């Protein structure tokens, strides 16, 4: 069902024990870190894996805050590096929950960098989308509160996240079908 006020489509299968929603801003966070020589790759710029860890850390904090407990990384989509990050850059990793399902959440992350000793504005150097699953003490999925998009930008991100989810599920289904067909044809990979 689509909420006419927000334009957000809610899943039809929410249980009768509705968990109160949380606004996008409730769990939004920024993680900042100064890049040092120990963060570099063979080219002398910051290693992409270092940035990816910061992205996962910030997204995990947001997912845990939104869900009110432990959440684990299920996937990372579209990690894009736009510009190299250098030693001495102050990196800001900004994360927020874009969409929620029953026990999963998509977290959008924007990576910004600025020189630590200059007053120039930070520029975007990367972005990513991660999916987290909320888990209980036994590692089993648990319900998460719906996210309530607050701004027009939040509503757009929610809608785009639904499109990415549809694509993830279709890709997973197509790969599974292909593997089953190959196995049925006796092709052993």
Residues near 26 by beta carbon (within 8 Å), at least 6 away in sequence: 65, 66
pLDDT band at 3 (very low <50, low <70, confident <90, very high): very low
pLDDT band at 2 (very low <50, low <70, confident <90, very high): very low
Across the range 27-36, mean pLDDT stands at 97
Residue 77: the pLDDT is 86
Contact 65, 27 (CB under 8 A): yes
Q: Are strands 71-81 and 123-134 parallel, antiparallel or unpaired?
A: antiparallel
What structural domains does the chain harbor?
20-183 (3.10.129.10)
Residue 10: the pLDDT is 47
Name the E strands within the chain.
22-23, 29-34, 71-81, 89-100, 104-115, 123-134, 147-148
Mean pLDDT for all residues in the chain: 91
Residue 122: the pLDDT is 96
Query: How many angstroms separate the CA atoms of 77 and 166, rounded?
Result: 13
pLDDT band at 6 (very low <50, low <70, confident <90, very high): very low
Beta carbons within 10 angstroms of residue 102's beta carbon: 15
Query: How many angstroms separate the CA atoms of 93 and 57, rounded?
Result: 9
Contact 155, 147 (CB under 8 A): no
- The b-or-e profile of 114-153 (16+ CB within 10 A means b, else e) is beeeeeeebeebbbbbbbbbbbeeeeeebbbbbbbbeeee
Residue 188: the pLDDT is 80
Residue 11 tokens read as 């899943």
Across the range 96-107, mean pLDDT stands at 97
Whether 9 has a pLDDT exceeding 80, the answer reads no
Across the range 98-119, mean pLDDT stands at 96
Percentage of the residues of the chain whose pLDDT score is greater than 70: 91
Residue 4: the pLDDT is 41
Residue 17: the pLDDT is 65
Residue 14: the pLDDT is 45
Whether 83 has a pLDDT exceeding 60, the answer reads yes
Q: Kindly compute the dihedral angle of the four CA atoms of residues 59, 60, 63, 68, in this order, to the nearest 10 degrees.
A: -150
pTM, to two decimals: 0.85
């Amino acid at each position: 069902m689509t909420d006419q006020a927000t334009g957000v489509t809610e899943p039809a299968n929410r249980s009768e024990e509705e968990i109160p929603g949380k606004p996008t801003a409730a769990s939004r966070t920024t993680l900042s870190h100064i890049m040092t020589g120990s963060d570099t790759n063979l080219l002398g710029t910051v290693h992409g894996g270092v940035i990816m860890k910061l992205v996962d850390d910030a997204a995990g904090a947001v997912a845990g805050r939104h869900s009110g407990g432990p959440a684990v990384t299920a996937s990372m989509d579209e990690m894009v590096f736009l510009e190299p990050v250098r030693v001495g850059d102050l990196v800001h990793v900004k994360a927020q929950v874009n969409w929620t399902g029953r026990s999963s959440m998509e977290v959008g992350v924007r990576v910004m960098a600025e020189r630590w000793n200059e007053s120039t504005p930070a520029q975007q150097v990367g972005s990513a989308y991660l999916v987290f699953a909320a888990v209980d003490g036994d590692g089993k999925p648990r319900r998460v509160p719906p996210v309530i998009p607050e701004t027009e930008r939040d509503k757009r991100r929610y809608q785009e996240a639904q499109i990415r989810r549809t694509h993830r599920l279709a890709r997973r289904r197509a790969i599974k079908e292909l593997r089953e067909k190959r196995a049925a044809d006796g092709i052993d990979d």
